[in-house]
Amino acid sequence: MKPAILVLHGPNLNLLGSREPEIYGRLTLAEIDREIKRHARARGVRVECRQSNHEGELIDALQSAGGKGFAAVVFNPGAFTHYSIALRDTVAAIPLPVVEVHLSNVHAREEFRRHSVIAPAARGQISGFGLQSYLLGIDAALGVLQSRRAAREAGR
Ligand code: DQA
């Protein structure tokens, strides 16, 4: 069966295309999601893309991802990256690998963006490659799933 990956976009990412295009580019969220799905199809992966401006909805989506059959999450927490301990705790609590992604290079921007409270709980972070951050995130999640499967099979 094809592995399934949840792609989760946080606050203000619904405004992509018109939101600070010099930083985030001109692709809309719908265009980004289309490219993510194209990439996933080429890799033989099923993806679902969701966006929410609400911390609680993002928490619910993360908590229910495993029960809905997702094996990993590619997550852009937006500004919640920098201060949401609640989201950090959810990422730490769920058994699925979570890859944190950012369109912009958060380490090259304002001081407050250089710190992610999510990153220590995530499997890893990809930042600064625009749309490619998400595609790399899918590949990173697949790599984690493949090595877990290989380790399980070697242990049998
Ligand atoms: C972002 C970076 C965050 O600092 C910012 O608040 C966002 C987008 C990115 O994808 O570059 O909303 O997560």
CATH number at residue 87: 3.40.50.9100
Give the Å distance between the CA of 103 and the centre of ligand 1: 7
5 by DSSP, 3-state: which? Answer: strand
H helical segments located in 12-130: 21-24, 29-43, 55-65, 85-93
d(CA 116, CA 86): 13
Quick one: which atom of ligand 1 is closest to the CA of 80?
Answer: 6
Give the Å distance between the CA of 93 and the centre of ligand 1: 23
Please tell me the residue having the least CA distance from ligand 1 atom 12: 78
Contact 54, 114 (CB under 8 A): no
Please tell me the residue having the least CA distance from ligand 1 atom 7: 78
d(CA 64, CA 147): 24
Q: Count structural domains, the chain.
A: 1
What is the per-residue pLDDT for 24?
Answer: 96
Q: Report residues whose beta carbon is within 6 angstroms of any ligand 1 atom.
A: 12, 76, 78-79, 81, 102-104, 106, 113
Cα dihedral value 39, 97, 86, 109, nearest 10: -50
What is the per-residue pLDDT for 2?
Answer: 78
What are the pLDDT digits (tens) for 90-126? 999 999 999 999 999 999 999 999 999 999 999 999 9
- The reply to whether 102 belongs to the active site is yes
Residue 156: is its pLDDT beyond 90?
A: no
Q: Name the more confident of 56 and 2.
A: 56
Residue to mutate, 81, 83, 114, 117, ligand 1, most ligand atoms under 8 Å from C-beta: 81
What are the pLDDT digits (tens) for 29-41? 999 999 999 999 9
Q: Collect all residues with Cβ–Cβ distance below 8 Å to 51 and sequence separation of at least 6.
A: 8, 9, 10, 13, 14, 29
Torsion over CA: 136, 107, 13, 7 (sign): positive
What are the pLDDT digits (tens) for 42-99? 999 999 999 999 999 999 999 999 999 999 999 999 999 999 999 999 999 999 999 9
Give the Å distance between the CA of 154 and the centre of ligand 1: 39
Q: Indicate which residue of 9, 24, 39, 134 is catalytic.
A: 24
Contact 7, 62 (CB under 8 A): no
Residue in 75, 122, 71, 129 with CA at minimum distance from that of residue 101: 75
Please give the helix or strand (H or E) that residue 150 lies within, else none: helix 131-155
What is the span of the domain harbouring residue 81? 4-154
Q: Name the more confident of 156 and 26.
A: 26
d(CA 60, CA 54): 10
pTM of the complete model beyond 0.85: yes
Residue 1: is its pLDDT beyond 80?
A: no
